[in-house]
Structure 1
Amino acid sequence: MWFARLSRIAASTQPMWLDAASYSSYAPYFVSPVFKRDQQNEMFELEEAQKLAHVPIKAAKNDDTSSVFHDELTRKFTNYIMKGGQKALARGLLEKAFENIKRIQIERYCKASEADKEKIEMNPQKILHEAIENSRPLLELTPIKRGGTRYQVPVPVTDKKSYFLAMKWLLTAAREKERTVHLPEKLAWELLDAAANQGRVIKKKQDLHRQCEANRAYAHYRWS
């Protein structure tokens, strides 16, 4: 009896904002908004847009946009560069890095022969995509304890974590270089090296894969 009374007293004295914060602002039947033009075109081609005609839709986030100049991977990379909420500074650093990449590629294009000019990529955003794709690890080592011994077991990496590790490694490699060189210049060279499948980040990924290959005998501990 006394426990039930205490529970009713605690529920009556609980602040109202705590109840509101513990629930989502949208019901489970609300649908996420589709703001990308290519996704909208696919929905109209598959005739799925008519199904959403009378379904409640969540409000779009502040950074969601249908602009053709918006790139989701660039936005994420900008957020990883940002420190202390200074997003304008992070965006400016990435734009300067893109400018340095453009200058380097133009210089290479002018010095290259006619046959090699077609192989030189001039778009910094595509170079960023190539660098991140080349830096993504496929496997990682996770410690698993079996019989009092801790083994380093290779496990596959999810897509979300592989993108995170690739961008983290690129930024760490750029920040660990000489202090006298500014971050945009260091980041530009790291992106160019990773896009060409060379550099410290690619070596780090290959070393991780070699360690996973060396510990493949312990792979069965993942399911045991």
Structure 2
Amino acid sequence: MISVLKWEQLLRHHVVTNHQKCYMSVFPKQYISAVFKKEKQKELVESGEDLKLVHIPIKPARNNDTSSVFHDDLISKYTNYIMRKGKKSLARELLEKTFENIKRTQLERYNLADAEEKEKIVTNPKLILHQAIANCRPLMELTPIKRGGVKYQVPVAVTENRSLFLAMNWLIQASKEKERNVHLPEKMAWELLDAAAGQGRVVKRKNDLHRQCEANRAYAHYRWG
């Protein structure tokens, strides 16, 4: 008879082997991701690409995938970056309070502004978040590369996902570094408003990084060496 320990070892080996064969996924490589957005489905129908996907197996949509008009991929991702220890409801509550503070601040500015200035004031917190992240996204960053026993800080281009991650992470870090006697939603609202206006510490951090990349442009050829 096979002992319980032996059975556990065989079962673990079987699970690991099958997991490696599946390439860290339940679905094989020929499966494609589901298109659940109505806009993208309409584009596929208009271009005729939907006929090519008829006989291709499709993965089921994830639990957080939705075709609602109120869903925003950027806001959902920003909520995940705020989240700590899996407390997503708390992260959503903090972001909602941040939007509320932004809305109140912008409405106060709108009511006190002149007729010409009112047209320039944006009161939608979602648009302010999009603009703030767009203003904070870096184009280049420095990476250490060793050549001849010496490490050089080489400027390299940043991918789109990496740029998005850095912008969001910098905004959250800057919000946490301010006064501790002020709640996080208020501090984050200040940072987002400053970043949306092209000001603040996060925009300065991005500009400083670009200056460092410009100063180290002589080492750019080490990237392909």
Shift of residue 26, structure 1, vs aligned partner: 1.2
Tell me how far apart the structure 2 counterparts of residues 209 and 17 of structure 1 sit (CA, whole Å): 47
Q: Which residue pairs with 1:19 in the alignment?
A: 17
Q: Secondary structure of the residue that 1:119 maps to in structure 2?
A: coil
Counterpart amino acid of residue 196 in structure 1:
A
Deviates more, 1:53-62 or 1:103-112: 53-62
5 Å-filtered alignment, 1:115-194, equals 115-194=116-195
Tell me how far apart the structure 2 counterparts of residues 45 and 167 of structure 1 sit (CA, whole Å): 35
Shift of residue 20, structure 1, vs aligned partner: 3.5
Consecutive unaligned residues in structure 2, runs of 5 or more: 1-8
Counterpart amino acid of residue 136 in structure 1:
R
Counterpart amino acid of residue 34 in structure 2:
P
Give the number of aligned pairs.
214
Task: State the Cα RMSD in Å.
Answer: 1.4
Shift of residue 17, structure 1, vs aligned partner: 2.6
Deviates more, 1:50-59 or 1:214-223: 50-59
Q: Secondary structure of the residue that 2:116 maps to in structure 1?
A: coil
Counterpart amino acid of residue 187 in structure 1:
M
Tell me how far apart the structure 2 counterparts of residues 73 and 50 of structure 1 sit (CA, whole Å): 30
Q: Which residue pairs with 1:103 in the alignment?
A: 104
5 Å-filtered alignment, 1:49-128, equals 49-128=50-129
Q: Which residue pairs with 2:203 in the alignment?
A: 202
Tell me how far apart the structure 2 counterparts of residues 18 and 222 of structure 1 sit (CA, whole Å): 37
Tell me how far apart the structure 1 counterparts of residues 49 and 153 of structure 2 sit (CA, whole Å): 46
Structure 2 length as normaliser, TM-score? 0.92
| Structure 1 residues 159-217: Cα deviation after superposition (integer angstroms, max 9, x where no partner) | 10000000000000000000000000000010000000000000000111111111111
Shift of residue 19, structure 1, vs aligned partner: 3.3
Tell me how far apart the structure 1 counterparts of residues 142 and 87 of structure 2 sit (CA, whole Å): 34
Consecutive unaligned residues in structure 1, runs of 5 or more: 1-11
Tell me how far apart the structure 1 counterparts of residues 18 and 104 of structure 2 sit (CA, whole Å): 52
Structure 1 length as normaliser, TM-score? 0.92
Shift of residue 49, structure 1, vs aligned partner: 1.2
Tell me how far apart the structure 2 counterparts of residues 30 and 147 of structure 1 sit (CA, whole Å): 46
Q: Secondary structure of the residue that 1:166 maps to in structure 2?
A: helix
| Structure 1 residues 95-138: Cα deviation after superposition (integer angstroms, max 9, x where no partner) | 00000000000000001110011111111011000000000001
| Structure 1 residues 71-96: Cα deviation after superposition (integer angstroms, max 9, x where no partner) | 00000100000001000000000000
Tell me how far apart the structure 1 counterparts of residues 117 and 205 of structure 2 sit (CA, whole Å): 29
Tell me how far apart the structure 1 counterparts of residues 150 and 26 of structure 2 sit (CA, whole Å): 47
Shift of residue 18, structure 1, vs aligned partner: 2.6
Shift of residue 157, structure 1, vs aligned partner: 0.6
Runs of at least 4 residues off by over 6 Å: none
Q: Secondary structure of the residue that 1:155 maps to in structure 2?
A: strand
Shift of residue 146, structure 1, vs aligned partner: 1.1
Q: Secondary structure of the residue that 1:165 maps to in structure 2?
A: helix
Shift of residue 14, structure 1, vs aligned partner: 5.2
| Structure 1 residues 140-171: Cα deviation after superposition (integer angstroms, max 9, x where no partner) | 11111111211111111111000000000000
Tell me how far apart the structure 1 counterparts of residues 140 and 31 of structure 2 sit (CA, whole Å): 36
